[in-house]
Amino acid sequence: MAPRAAAPPNNKPTNQLDEGLGRTSTSSIMSAEEVAKAFVQHFYQAFDTDVNSVAGLYSAQSMLTFEGTQVQGTQPIIEKLRSVGPVSHTVKTIDIQPSKDTTAIVIFVTGAVTIGGGNPLHFCEFFHLVGTGPGQYYVHNDVFRLNYGL
Please give the pLDDT value at position 127.
98
pLDDT along the chain (150 residues), means of 10: 33 43 53 94 97 97 98 98 97 95 93 95 98 92 90
Give the residue among 48, 66, 68 at the shortest CA–CA distance from 116: 48
CA 17-23-10 angle, to 5 degrees, is 100
Query: Pseudo-torsion of CA 20, 72, 128, 101, nearest 10°?
Result: -110
pTM for the complete prediction? 0.81
Predicted pLDDT of residue 150: 62
Residue 43: per-residue pLDDT: 98
CB 71 within 8 A of CB 118: no
Contacts of 91 (CB under 8 A, 6+ apart): 40, 41, 44, 109, 110, 111
